[in-house]
Structure formats: structure tokens, C-alpha cells
Amino acid sequence: MSQARLMDGTGLARRIVEDASKRAADLTVRTGARPCLATVLVGADPASVTYVRMKQNRCRRAGIESRRVELPAATTTGELVGTLRALSEDPGVHGILLQHPMGEHIDERAAFEAISPEKDVDGVTFASFATMSFGLPGFVSCTPGGIMRLLDEYGVDPSGRRAVVVGRSAILGKPVGMLLLGRDATVTYCHSRTRDLPSVVREADIVVAAVGRPRLIRGEDIRPGAVVVDAGYNPGNIGDVDFGSAVERAGLITPVPGGVGPMTIATLLEQTVEAAARQLGPVPRTGSADSRGTA
Ligand code: NAP
């Protein structure tokens, strides 16, 4: 059997960011205001600090202002909610990213719900989940939105196909399944209580791995010709799919790194510019990347 074709997230993400950056420049010229993403970090967890810094650098390179809000680890839920409400009301801020996970003493849901849906460019609020599930205008969770863009880019039409999503987290597994359902796939969710995972995965035309267990899904579990999207990112740049064996069976597959990862941040930047455009007034799209997944 021939090897699967790779889905290049790095290249597609670059084009999306170029497009977002042109839109940001147009918006700045037209309105005098630069799109602005506020990043909120509670505490100093090294991985979170790195993620936030990376997102800020990418914003800067794309002509998006980033406002950094750093709060001490001992911040209470009430204080965090107050900060997020103030940012939600600040006309100079168009998108808000609350880095998570946060300390266990914080009520994460209460914090997310303090973000106004118009500025929820990371797609974490109940309102965003609802609009995404109903296919209404709003913002999607960035990794699921990025996955759908990759599928579109490679001509994968989920309609009528059997999609198996392994993982059901609120930011990844659950929303990507909803987006696939919205595109008329027949969706099955798997999780830690699923019995005989390989037998379920074997039925899939489209597999999305969103677990956080290195090489959990083996090539022998992949139906020949299936589309394999590996969102997993484990230490050592290892995905949730055993790439070496899966590439021999799949029709299309995302590499790790260079598949889903770059699409997440590209979606965040694109949604930030879209949020700014909605708040400041519309600017025509430029470039070739389309808007599916962010409507
Ligand atoms: P999470 O919140 O820990 O959720 C993991 C999910 O996997 C849960 O639903 C869990 O089931 C399920 N699971 C655990 N063990 C399983 C098993 N043996 N068989 C089947 N399902 C199992 O993780 P997450 O935040 O969704 O992240 C998942 C992975 O994606 C991680 O590797 C993370 O680093 C990566 N990720 C990548 C990006 C990116 O930009 N590329 C973004 C976000 C996350 P239960 O619900 O039953 O516990």
C-alpha cells in the first residue's frame, strides 16, 4: 500500500496568518485602531508562560497588538472575573485569551463566562459552544476550527462519512465532534471508558485523535485510506497516533509537529482580527484563505 499524503498545517497556517495580517493592516488604516488581543495569565507555570509569549510574538508579527495581563497565582476567582469583565468592556481590546489550565482554587467556568462572547476568540464560553453547535455566527474553539480548515484544504468532505473522535474535552474533542456533525458526518465519541477502542477506530473514515497518550492509535487500527488527524501533542513531539505505522494505512494524515499545532494559533489570530473587524466595522477579506470555521 502507498503512503498517506501529509496534511501540511504549517503551510496552511502561514497563509491564514498572512491573510489575517493584511486584514489587520487594512483595519488599522481604515479605523486608526489596531486589532488587540489581551492575554491573561494567572501564576507563572513555565509551560503557560511559554505559550502566552509565543502567542504574543505571533500577534506582534501579524500586526496585532497584544496586551499582557499577568496576575499572581493567588488571584481569586472573583478578582479574575473582575479583570475579565473590565477587558470585556474595554473598547481598545477586541479579543481575550485566558490561558488555562489555572490553579485548582479558580472556578474556571466562572472565569470563562466573564469573557464577552464578542471577544471570545478562543471559543471557550458557553455562548461560543452553542453558536458553534448550531452553526451560527460566533467564534470556535481554535484547535477544532483549525482541524476543520485542514480538512477543507485537503478536500475532505465529512458529509455522510463516519468520524470517530477519540477524546471529549471541552476545548478539543467535544467541539470538533460537533463541527463534524454540523458538516453531516456520523460522529462517534470515544473516551477513557470506551470498550475496545481499536474496533471503533477501525470503522472510521475520519479519525481525530485528541487524547494526550503517545501513540495510542496504531496503524493496524486505521481503516485503509482513512483520514487521520492527530491533535495529540506529547513530550518529545509525539502525537496520539503511531505515525510510522499509520502513514502506511491512511489516505491522508497530519504529521506531529507541523499538522494541527500551527493551525491552532493561526485560528486564534484570524479570529482576533475578525472580532476587531466586527467591533470596529467590516473590512473586505484579502488573500486566498477562506473563512470557513470562523463564521
Ligand atoms: P484532556 O482534557 O486531558 O482530554 C483527554 C481526553 O482523552 C478525555 O476525554 C479522556 O477521556 C480521553 N482519554 C484518556 N485516555 C484515553 C484512552 N486510553 N482511550 C480513549 N480516550 C482516552 O486533553 P485535551 O486538552 O483535549 O488534549 C488532548 C491532546 O491534544 C493533548 O495531547 C494536548 O496536548 C493536545 N492539544 C493540542 C493542541 C494543539 O494546538 N495542537 C491544542 C489542545 C490540545 P475522559 O473524558 O473519559 O477522561
Residue 126 domain flag: no
Task: Measure 288 CA to ligand 1 centroid, in angstroms.
Answer: 32
Residue 39 domain flag: yes
Identify the three-state secondary structure at position 215.
coil
Per-residue pLDDT reduced to its tens digit, 226-251: 999 999 999 999 999 999 999 999 99
User: In sequence order, which residues have a C-beta less than 8 Å from that of residue 144 and are 6 or more positions away?
Assistant: 123, 172, 175, 176, 178, 179
Kindly list the protein residues whose Cβ atom lies closer than 6 A to any atom of ligand 1.
143, 166-169, 171-173, 190-194, 197, 210-213, 216, 231-234, 260-261, 264
Q: Give backbone dihedrals phi and psi of 171, rounded to 5 degrees, phi first.
A: -95, -15
Residue 129 domain flag: no
Confidence grade of residue 288 (pLDDT, cut at 50, 70, 90): very low
Evaluate if residue 293 carries a pLDDT over 90: no
- Residue-number span of the structural domain to which 109 is assigned: 30-118
63 and 161 assigned to the same domain: no
Nearest protein CA to atom 24 of ligand 1, as residue:
169
Residue 74 domain flag: yes
240 and 154 assigned to the same domain: yes
- Looking at 122, 205, 221, 240, which residue is catalytic? 122
57 and 147 assigned to the same domain: no
Number of helices (H), then strands (E), belonging to the chain: the values are: 10, 9
Query: 63 and 21 in contact (C-beta within 8 Å)?
Result: yes
Q: In Å, how far are 18, 55, 68, 159 from 59, measured between CA atoms? A: 11, 6, 12, 34
The pLDDT, as a whole number, for residue 295 is 37
If one counts the domains in the chain, the total is 2
Respond yes or no: is residue 122 known to be catalytic: yes
113 and 195 assigned to the same domain: no
The pLDDT, as a whole number, for residue 58 is 96
Evaluate if residue 285 carries a pLDDT over 60: no
245 and 146 assigned to the same domain: yes
The pLDDT, as a whole number, for residue 175 is 98
Query: 283 and 136 in contact (C-beta within 8 Å)?
Result: no
pTM: predicted TM-score of the whole model, two decimal places: 0.94
Per-residue pLDDT reduced to its tens digit, 126-167: 999 999 999 999 999 999 999 999 999 999 999 999 999 999
User: Which residues in the chain belong to E strands, given as ranges?
Assistant: 5-6, 36-42, 65-71, 95-98, 162-166, 186-190, 206-209, 227-230, 252-253
151 and 223 assigned to the same domain: yes
Confidence grade of residue 281 (pLDDT, cut at 50, 70, 90): confident
Percent of the chain at pLDDT > 70 equals 95
The pLDDT, as a whole number, for residue 194 is 98
Task: Measure 275 CA to ligand 1 centroid, in angstroms.
Answer: 28
- The residue length of the chain stands at 295
Task: Measure 82 CA to ligand 1 centroid, in angstroms.
Answer: 30
Instruction: Please choose, from the candidates 192, 176, 183, 62, the residue with its C-alpha nearest in 3D space to the C-alpha of residue 123.
Output: 176
User: In sequence order, which residues have a C-beta less than 8 Å from that of residue 256 and are 6 or more positions away?
Assistant: 230, 232, 233, 237, 238, 239, 241, 243
84 and 48 assigned to the same domain: yes
CATH number at residue 214: 3.40.50.720
Residue 62 domain flag: yes
What's the chain's average pLDDT? 95
Respond yes or no: is residue 99 known to be catalytic: yes
Query: 27 and 283 in contact (C-beta within 8 Å)?
Result: yes
Longest CA–CA span in the chain (Å) reads 58
Residue 16 domain flag: no
Of 100, 140, 171, 191, the one to substitute when testing ligand 1's pocket (max ligand atoms within 8 A of C-beta) is 191
Of 124, 192, 263, 268, the one to substitute when testing ligand 1's pocket (max ligand atoms within 8 A of C-beta) is 192
Residue 269 domain flag: no
56 and 146 assigned to the same domain: no
Evaluate if residue 38 carries a pLDDT over 90: yes
Residue 152 domain flag: yes
The pLDDT, as a whole number, for residue 290 is 41
The pLDDT, as a whole number, for residue 266 is 98
167 and 76 assigned to the same domain: no
Gap between the Cα atoms of 133 and 189, Å rounded: 15
The arithmetic mean of pLDDT across residues 105-117, rounded, is 98
The pLDDT, as a whole number, for residue 1 is 62
Per-residue pLDDT reduced to its tens digit, 249-259: 999 999 999 99
Evaluate if residue 209 carries a pLDDT over 60: yes
Instruction: Please choose, from the candidates 22, 20, 19, 32, the residue with its C-alpha nearest in 3D space to the C-alpha of residue 280.
Output: 32
